[in-house]
Amino acid sequence: MDTRKRRRNRLIAAVCLTLLLLIILAICLGIIFRSENGASSSEVLKTTIISRCETYLQNNDPGSSESICNTLWMTFTKAFVGQDPCAVPPEAYNQLFQAINNYPSCNRTLFWSKTKAISHKYTQEKKCLETLEDTLLGNVMDGLTWCGKNNSNEIFTSGCPAWTECTMNPVRSFWDRSSGLIAEQTCGAATVMLNGSIPTPFDPNSTFGRIEAKRLKYPLVSGLTVVLVTQTNVTSCENDSLQNLQRVLDQSLTYSCKVVLQSQILDCISDPHMPCGKCW
């Protein structure tokens, strides 16, 4: 009996030791894997955001407090970390936008829709107008993806809900909130660059159509100029979707529309002596 008991105890001890060794091996492999593959996605995102923030402030607001970028990161992550990635409403970012709220001065806001590249090339080269992505938060977040998950401190930069998968995802809610705020803060004459090479330059389901156009209110805003960017001169400002835009706008706003060849804008951008007003 004793021999059998001793043999059974030795087997149990061997199994426990094996399990313990496997657990230690798994932890070591995890640490090695992570160190070999560098930082976690959360650390990569934080580094990207903080460095973009610091670069933006160095270029645009050198005297600003050093703590702004950490405040940006902290209030940004509070909006979505630990949350279902399809249950993050635009209001989740309220604290972030209360902390960081720089907007273009009057007469300088440029909206855009399906013209991202040329709009940004224009604002970055000519410095006359500013898009949302030329503000601190828009600049820092442009092109990034992020989400969290229920009851977890993890931050993911892949595998997040797509733009149309669910409307209250962290990325889309950020852009909806920031777009609404820049429109509400717009004053004086506003401009929008629309794409004259597509059938509906004004898409009511776009961010500009759903959110921004509706928030341009007289008398804070005096009017809207549409710059209809075309490759050839076949498009006109009489396009049906532009008639629809005029119906969506506050009827007290002045409205104008101008067809402009993309080549004219690009020539203007590339000529540092050409004043902004000559680009269209």
- Binding footprint of ligand DVN on the chain (CB under 6 A): 111-114, 116, 131-132, 143, 163-164, 175, 179, 182, 206-208, 212
Residue whose CB is less far from ligand DVN, 80 or 174:
174
Distance CA 131, CA 118 (A): 11
Minimum separation from the CB atom of position 158 to ligand DVN (A): 14
Minimum separation from the CB atom of position 128 to ligand DVN (A): 16
Minimum separation from the CB atom of position 198 to ligand DVN (A): 10
Minimum separation from the CB atom of position 91 to ligand DVN (A): 17
- Secondary structure in 3-state letters for the chain: CHHHHHHHHHHHHHHHHHHHHHHHHHHHHHHHHHHHCCCCHHHHHHHHHHHHHHHHHHHHCCCCCCCHHHHHHHHHHHCCCCCCCCCCCHHHHHHHHHHCCCCCCCCCEEEEECCHHHHHHHHHHHCCCECHHHCHHHHHHCCCCCECCCCCCCCECCCCCCCCCCCCCHHHHHHHHHHHHHHHHCCEEEEEEEECCCCCCCCCCCHHHHHHHHHCCCCCEEEEEEEEEECCCCCCCCCHHHHHHHHHCCCCCEEEEEEEEHHHHHHHHHCCCCCHHHCC
Residue whose CB is less far from ligand DVN, 163 or 218:
163
Minimum separation from the CB atom of position 190 to ligand DVN (A): 10
Q: Which of 130, 103, 107 is nearest to 224 (CA)?
A: 107
Residue whose CB is less far from ligand DVN, 122 or 208:
208
Minimum separation from the CB atom of position 143 to ligand DVN (A): 5
Residue whose CB is less far from ligand DVN, 80 or 202:
202
Return the sign of the alpha-carbon dihedral for residues 25, 30, 33, 34: negative
Minimum separation from the CB atom of position 104 to ligand DVN (A): 11
CA 189 to chain centroid: 24
